[in-house]
Structure 1
Amino acid sequence: MSIFDKLKNLLGQGNEAAPPPAAPVETPAGPATQMERRTRERVNAREGTRALIIDDSPTIIAALAKILRSVGYVTLEAPDAEQGIEIARSQQPDLIFLDIVLPGMNGFAALRLMRRDPLTRNIPIVMMSGNEQATEQFFGTRIGADDFMKKPFSRLEVFARIERLLDSDLMPRRRITDATAAPPPPPAPPVA
């Protein structure tokens, strides 16, 4: 109902029946109504949470960094997988946003390397892609991605993805399952 219609109703000049409630809207985080989007309080990670953004698009990095910084995140940025892996190993971010299509090493190869590395294996990783193929999402989760976000993304979607990863201390954590668990270390060689 528009502001004008509300004024008419308040002044007793509107005889129309009230519009039906908003129909459910499918959001990336699941079904919701438009009303819930406005009234449900978002749960954010703690201020100072460090997020690494690995993407070759300066526009995507700038947009995602702006969204995250608006609620107190610290952002680290890398234009390719090699630099991203090095930053992840040295800076130990709390969360990583990883593009799939990157120059040089692609996001899937980077994800596999980070899941095998003891320094990065437990960092939650959200894969990103502009491609709508569901196979990317499936493959990413099979090799250890914690979530998948389609580009272009909205502010709502970014925070919905993060919220799903938060633990009781409001820090992003991996949800380890049998499918995403790191492989056991190889057996020790026999002693001769």
Structure 2
Amino acid sequence: MAGFELIKRFFGSDPAERRTAPRSGVPKGALILVVDDSATIRAVLGKMLSQDNQVVLKAPDGETAIELARKECPDLIFLDIVMPGMNGFAVLRALRRDPLTRHIPIVMISGNLQATEQFYVQRFGADDFMKKPFGRSEVFARIQHLTQSGRLVVGERAPQETVTGEPEHSAAEHAAIPDIAMPDPHDLILPPGGSS
């Protein structure tokens, strides 16, 4: 038993304690939207985030994701690329064009091995890319990177629309928002049997 205690002191704690311990550099209480057509991915990623004291919203498709993003203004979105109906690129384009959601950091996720996906993600407005399958350390490394770069600030919500229906942006803020051209998702060529 003394050997186990020595190992425990050397490594800090047992795995169950490490899972619930706060991660340095990762803000607590972030509202995070997980968008994936796979219920398993939504559940696994949601559990990882919830165990780290994050508040998780889940959407099974692109249309629901846009609706939730507009309504709840999450601090961060994990967005699958390959989904039936509205794919992740179309969702990304819609979110970046909307004044209420264009500021939200977005991490695209996909199991497709095509390097072109990562190119499109980086070029057309996503903040990061995460390949499936992923582990806890990768998920929290992405969040920590966004936090350290100043891109993820918990509690910073988009300006709400006023009674007149105009967004509350100053002229300088509005001019600083880039107009992002997105590829037409129908132009993307995926290999036969490409997975999400």
Mapped to 2, the partners of 1:56 and 1:44 lie a distance apart of 29
Mapped to 2, the partners of 1:81 and 1:61 lie a distance apart of 14
Specify the alignment match of 2:38 in structure 1.
57
Considering only aligned residues, what root-mean-square deviation do their CA atoms show, in Å? 2.4
Structure 1 or 2, whichever has the larger Rg, is: 1
Mapped to 1, the partners of 2:152 and 2:121 lie a distance apart of 24
Using the TM superposition, give the Cα deviation of residue 49 of structure 1 relative to its aligned residue in structure 2, in angstroms.
0.5
Secondary structure of 2:109's aligned partner: strand
Q: Does 1:133 pair with 2:114?
A: yes
Deviation beyond 3 Å, 4+ runs, structure 1: 167-170
Using the TM superposition, give the Cα deviation of residue 75 of structure 1 relative to its aligned residue in structure 2, in angstroms.
0.2
Using the TM superposition, give the Cα deviation of residue 44 of structure 1 relative to its aligned residue in structure 2, in angstroms.
4.2
Q: Is the 8 A contact 1:97 1:126 kept in 2?
A: yes
1:118 alignment partner, one of 59, 79, 99:
99
Q: Does 1:165 pair with 2:146?
A: yes
Output the amino acid matched with 1:56: D
Output the TM-score relative to the length of structure 2. Answer: 0.66
Using the TM superposition, give the Cα deviation of residue 169 of structure 1 relative to its aligned residue in structure 2, in angstroms.
10
- Give matches, 1:68-147, under 5 Å: 68-147=49-128
Q: Is the 8 A contact 1:52 1:77 kept in 2?
A: yes
Secondary structure of 2:26's aligned partner: coil
- Of Structure 1 and Structure 2, the greater helix share is in 2
Output the amino acid matched with 2:24: V
Mapped to 2, the partners of 1:169 and 1:131 lie a distance apart of 26
Output the amino acid matched with 2:60: P
Output the TM-score relative to the length of structure 1. Answer: 0.67
- Larger RCO, structures 1/2 (Cα 8 Å, 6+ apart): 2
Specify the alignment match of 1:28 in structure 2.
none
Gap runs ≥5 in structure 1: 4-40, 174-180, 185-192
Q: Is the 8 A contact 2:74 2:104 kept in 1?
A: yes
